[in-house]
Structure 1
Amino acid sequence: MIVRIELTYKTPKGAETTFSSNEMSAKDALIIAEDIEKTGRAKRLMFADNSESSWTMKELKKYMKDIQTEPHHVSVYFDGGFNRETMQSGLGCAIYYEQSGKTYRVRKNARVDELESNNEAEYAALDLALKELERIGVHHLPVKFIGDSQVVINQLSGEWPCYEENLSRWADRIESEMERLGIKPDYESVSRKANREADQLASQALKDIEIMSTIEI
């Protein structure tokens, strides 16, 4: 969770001013805020998240404690491949997350027959990842989605328009699922080399090699 510290500072002589910090992790913000409180000069100290919701220190501490037993710090790598000769698609995703003080990795792939292009396969791979996020209990969290499809990344982030009707349906479906799960997406476009793990999972799916694993790393 990313937050800003917002506080009203009061000097011993009664002068007051307000401050707003840079964005930082909630963990770091709590450490800094507790140090500020020791001065005894913070008249009002709050935290604001990316949705501009306000949190007291007590509320933020409780939230941070509660999420330790749920998946958090989630990153998703996704990739789709399409074979024009067979008209089959391979979908792959790798999900990294923390839970109860440990780090886990989920790998999942699938082969599907009803798609018509590589771009559709890329969207379908992201949809597959969303199903896995729901399965492991990810909800109401920011999630980083990493892929090598500039079409998917730029269309979903609003950088590019989506004119193709079939891709527009995929985008609407994915955005609806994210809204239902309370997921706040952060999209990152990377090279195919940097997305090698998801690419390999998609390629294995096209070879009819099914992968479904969860391990602690």
Structure 2
Amino acid sequence: MTGPVEPSLRAQAVALLDAGHQPASVAAQVGASRTTVYRWWASVRAQRARAGKPEPPPIALSDRQLRILRLRAKGLSGPEIAAKEEIATGTVAHHERVIITRLGAANITNAVHRAWEEGLLRKRPRPQVLPPRHGDRAGYLRHVKAGEEACFACRVGNSRYEVERRAARKAASAAVAPDRPPVGPTPQLAPAGPPQARTAPKETRP
């Protein structure tokens, strides 16, 4: 767009961008080039950042679209991306059109540059890996699962766990039946003698 830019025209374009319109459609509505709209939008965003005003919500892309964008940033072509993602080449082209529209870019190369500016292609921090536990029951079981001999600290921790577990079971059983009389020694019965032979009663003669 040549000539001086009217402030009202720039304000109209910024209002449309804030409402969610894409730069290509905004450029067609206000009669300016997309390059001019991009320059307006970058200037307004910089002013808002200096003033501490909140930015519009981030650009939403699906996981597959982000993967396609990262592969494009690595220099892969459409057929190569289709083979890597195991999808059709037309599907890759469709996702790239969506990416270009949502990023307000002119083409997929410009979309990659826009994605870098928006922070969409930055590496995510790796999750912190905690060191393996030692000196307790969990460490002992980890040794057993790995099929290796447990260290001294884990053996001591496992023995402590077993002692505490037996004590807890004993206390729980005592709490269930506290009034049960103590069980004394079993009385011993006298040994039975040899069986006596039965004798028939004597007949008395008259």
Q: TM-score range by the shorter chain?
A: under 0.3
Larger Rg: 2
Question: Comparing both structures, which one devotes a greater share of its residues to strand?
Answer: 1
Question: Comparing both structures, which one devotes a greater share of its residues to helix?
Answer: 2
Larger relative contact order, structure 1 or 2 (CA cutoff 8 Å, min sep 6): 1
* TM-score normalised by structure 2 residue count: 0.27
